[in-house]
């Protein structure tokens, strides 16, 4: 088990748990909310089998990382990513962000990217480019929706998590063909290990506007999104992100839910590996 210190809260260190496996061209995986790096197991297996070095970490507040009450804004979260990359002295990385993790990818590339560090980027079921509805972002979502999510978490975050994960994997649509009840329950167990502060405060971070960050992306980019995503609908997220990045490869997973890295892992892994190999 490996940890890196990224900050402090009062007398306690804030540490990120990470795994650094295999050898070869590095791929850094950033997970979604409210899961952990464990959610990447199907991609990790495929990447290692293809001869890649795979690094995955738990976001602060989630999984086995420290659970502080602070730091759930994207500037801080992207700084955590930066500190991990610098500490491991990674070069020529493919940076992959799933869902909320897409925000770390966008903000890191907009604020911290150094020549030679990151060579390719992947946005998978990503929160980018901008979720908050406003005059200059009419495609966005009414912020009241997110206030409702916060109220549900405050009332009973475990009951909320149970419903959320069924929509996350589109259980009613795909049934047991693509994901079992047991696999959803495993995600539930991972989600319950997140801290209350992290689960709640990250909701505000989802309203971040990443369009200025995305405008700075000049490296090869892959956008993967399911056309049946009930959490982050493709029209408001993946389709727009791909359109904002010149030359971006846009792969739509037909019938893919939000959690397509599990339900459609074979297709997702094939596209991901082919993109990295180009």
Count of structural domains within the chain? 1
Is 229 in the active site?
A: yes
Integer Cα distance of 47 and 44 in angstroms = 5
The pLDDT, as a whole number, for residue 173 is 58
Q: Are 267 and 183 in contact (CB under 8 A)?
A: no
Query: Is 251 an active-site residue?
Result: no
**Host domain of residue 74:** 2-277
Annotated catalytic residue, options 31, 52, 251, 258: 258
Model pLDDT, residue 172: 67
Q: Using an 8 Å Cβ cutoff, are 249 and 224 in contact?
A: no
The pLDDT, as a whole number, for residue 175 is 52
Token look-up 């791909």 returns 242
Looking up tokens 């990443």, which residue turns up?
210
pTM score over 0.85: yes
- C-beta of residue 75 within 8 angstroms of C-beta of residue 48: no
Catalytic residue (choose from 37, 99, 125, 126)? 99
Residue 261, domain CATH: 3.40.50.1820
39 burial via Cβ count (<10 Å: 0-12, 13-18, 19+): buried
**What is the per-residue pLDDT for 145?**
87
Question: Is 11 an active-site residue?
Answer: no
Over the chain (278 residues), the average pLDDT of each successive run of 10 is 95 98 97 98 98 98 98 98 97 98 98 91 98 88 90 97 94 67 94 96 96 96 96 95 97 96 96 97
Q: What is the DSSP string of 19-31?
A: EEE--SSEEEEE-
pLDDT of residue 50: 98
- Which DSSP letter does residue 38 get? G
- The answer to whether the beta carbons of residues 189 and 90 sit under 8 Å apart is no
Can you tell me which residue has the tokens 């979720």? Answer: 131
């Amino acid at each position: 088990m490996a940890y890196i210190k990224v900050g402090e809260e009062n007398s306690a260190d804030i540490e990120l748990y990470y795994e650094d496996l295999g050898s070869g061209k590095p791929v850094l995986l950033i997970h979604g909310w409210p899961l952990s790096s464990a959610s990447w197991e199907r991609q990790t297996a495929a990447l290692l089998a293809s001869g890649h070095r795979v690094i995955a970490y738990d976001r602060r507040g989630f999984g086995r990382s420290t659970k502080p009450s602070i730091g759930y804004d994207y500037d801080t979260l992207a700084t955590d990513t930066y500190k991990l990359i610098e500490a491991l002295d990674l070069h020529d990385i493919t940076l992959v962000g799933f869902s909320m993790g897409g925000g770390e990818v966008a903000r890191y590339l907009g604020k911290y990217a150094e020549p030679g560090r990151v060579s390719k980027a992947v946005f998978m079921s990503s929160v980018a480019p901008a979720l908050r509805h406003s005059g200059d972002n009419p495609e966005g979502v009414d912020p009241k929706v997110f206030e409702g999510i916060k109220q549900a978490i405050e009332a009973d975050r475990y009951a909320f998590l149970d419903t959320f994960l069924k929509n996350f994997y589109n259980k009613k649509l795909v049934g047991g063909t693509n994901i079992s009840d047991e696999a959803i329950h495993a995600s539930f167990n991972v989600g319950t290990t997140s801290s209350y502060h992290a689960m709640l405060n990250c909701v505000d971070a989802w309203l971040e506007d990443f369009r200025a960050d995305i405008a700075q992306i000049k490296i090869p980019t892959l956008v993967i999104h399911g056309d049946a995503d009930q959490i982050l609908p493709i029209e408001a997220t993946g389709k727009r992100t791909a359109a904002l990045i010149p030359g971006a490869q846009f792969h739509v997973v037909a019938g893919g839910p939000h959690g397509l890295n599990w339900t459609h892992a074979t297709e997702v892994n094939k596209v991901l590996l082919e993109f990295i190999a180009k």
